[in-house]
Structure 1
Amino acid sequence: MNKQIELQDLGLKDYKQTWDYQEALFKAIVDTKIKNRREEAGLQTKNHFLFVEHPHVYTLGKSGDLSNLLLNEKQLIEKGATFYKINRGGDITYHGPGQVVGYPILDLENFFTDIHKYLRFLEEMIILTLAEYGLKAERSKGETGVWLDVGTPFARKICAMGVRASRWVTMHGFALNVNANLGYFDNIIPCGIRGKAVTSLNVELGKKEVSMEDVKEKLLKHFVNLFEAEFIRV
């Protein structure tokens, strides 16, 4: 089992270009697995982890409802945003500058074959990271992602999640609001959940800006511990 993960920080990158890159990495892993099964080739599968920030974009998961996007095509252009229907789970979400977006593209057979455990570990990575900033983050029953003040009228989401998995290979991932422009969430019903607010780390801490690099380092530390993995920067 290969527990090494190739880490890349793509900086600010177009959503579609990043999605295409994810698909290429995903396909290479799946192709290796197919070759191993057909030919007993014994080839090692790679694992990847991409950090990225996207220009303003709305994405709708395969089970999502288009009516949760509250903008028409003209309004999207006016907002400087794009829109894509994509192949992850979940409903609609927003990505933009000030978000730490992470895409683990892993062969789970290198770690464990349990997609629910995988999602819980991603959530736990976020929860442990936010705890380092003095925030008590939680899961919300029946709702993906990571939340604050669950079970109160002030419940608000700070991290969205949506993944795809095939042949135990994962793609897509999480989007943690660090210095996000929350006004862009007003143009959707986030994740199809009405009446729930969205927040960002800088808002919760009462700061103008939080170091994105510090957040990434904390996320990686907890990911390594949870997955018993090793990162190689490429």
Structure 2
Amino acid sequence: MNKKIELLDLGTKDYKETWDHQERLFKNIVDTKVSNRRNERNDVTKNHLLFVEHPHVYTLGKSGDIRNLLLNEQQLIEKGATFYKINRGGDITYHGPGQIVGYPILDLENFFTDIHKYLRLLEEVVILTLSEYGLSCTRSKGETGVWLDVGTPFARKICAMGVKASRWVTMHGFALNVNADLGYFDNIVPCGIKGKAVTSLNVELSMKHISVNEVKEKLLKHFADQFDAEMIRAN
């Protein structure tokens, strides 16, 4: 089993370009696995983790309801945002500047074969990261992601998640609000969940700006710990 994960930080990159890049990495891993089985080989499959910030964009999961996007095409243009219907699970979400998006493209057969465990570990990576900032975050039953004040009228989501998996290979991932412009969430019903608020790390800490690079380093540390993996930085 290959427990090395190659990290690539894409900086700020267009959503569609990043999605295409994910698809290429995903296909390479799947193709290797198919070839291994057909030819009874055992070539090593790679694992990747992409970090990226996207320009303003709304994405709708394959089971999502388009009515949860509250803007028409002209209003999207006026907001400087784009929209894509994509092949992950979940409903609608927003990506934009000040948000760390993480795309793990892993062959889970290098780690474990349990999608439920995979999602819970992704959540745990974020929960442990935010605990370093003094925030007590948790899960909300039946609602994937990371939340604060679950079970109260003040419940709010700080990290959304949505993944795709095929042949135990994953893509898509998580979006953690660090210095996000929360006004863009007003244009959707986030994740299709009505009556729940969205928050950002800088808002919770009453700070104007949090170091995104600092948060990334904490995420990487906890990702390596939770997945018992070795993180390799791509050149």
SS in 2 for 1:157: strand
Instruction: Name the amino acid aligned to 1:111.
Output: F
In the other structure, the counterpart of 1:107 is 107
How far the C-alpha of 1:69 sits from its partner, in A, is 0.0
CA distance in 2, matches of 1:42, 1:185: 45
How far the C-alpha of 1:176 sits from its partner, in A, is 0.1
Deviations for 1:85-115, whole angstroms, at most 9, x for unmatched residues?
0000000000000000000000000000000
SS in 2 for 1:29: helix
Instruction: Name the amino acid aligned to 1:227.
Output: F
How far the C-alpha of 1:207 sits from its partner, in A, is 0.2
Alignment of 1:2-151 (within 5 A): 2-151=2-151
CA distance in 2, matches of 1:214, 1:63: 34
Residue 195 of structure 2 is aligned to residue 195 of structure 1? yes
Instruction: Name the amino acid aligned to 1:75.
Output: Q
SS in 1 for 2:222: helix
SS in 2 for 1:173: strand
CA distance in 2, matches of 1:33, 1:59: 29
CA distance in 1, matches of 2:68, 2:223: 32
CA distance in 1, matches of 2:198, 2:123: 16
CA distance in 1, matches of 2:191, 2:181: 17
CA distance in 1, matches of 2:7, 2:50: 6
Instruction: Name the amino acid aligned to 2:223.
Output: F
Deviations for 1:188-210, whole angstroms, at most 9, x for unmatched residues?
00000001000000000000000
Deviations for 1:150-190, whole angstroms, at most 9, x for unmatched residues?
00000000000000000000000000000000000000000
**Deviating runs (4+, > 6 A) in structure 1?**
none
CA distance in 2, matches of 1:128, 1:77: 37
How much is the aligned-residue C-alpha RMSD, in angstroms? 0.3
Alignment of 1:218-229 (within 5 A): 218-229=218-229
Aligned length: 234
TM-score, scaled relative to structure 2: 0.99
CA distance in 2, matches of 1:5, 1:224: 9
How far the C-alpha of 1:42 sits from its partner, in A, is 1.2
- 5+ residue gaps, structure 1, are none
CA distance in 1, matches of 2:207, 2:33: 46
How far the C-alpha of 1:9 sits from its partner, in A, is 0.1
TM-score, scaled relative to structure 1: 1.00
CA distance in 2, matches of 1:182, 1:144: 19
CA distance in 1, matches of 2:192, 2:115: 22
Q: Percent identity?
A: 82
In the other structure, the counterpart of 1:176 is 176
Residue 216 of structure 2 is aligned to residue 204 of structure 1? no
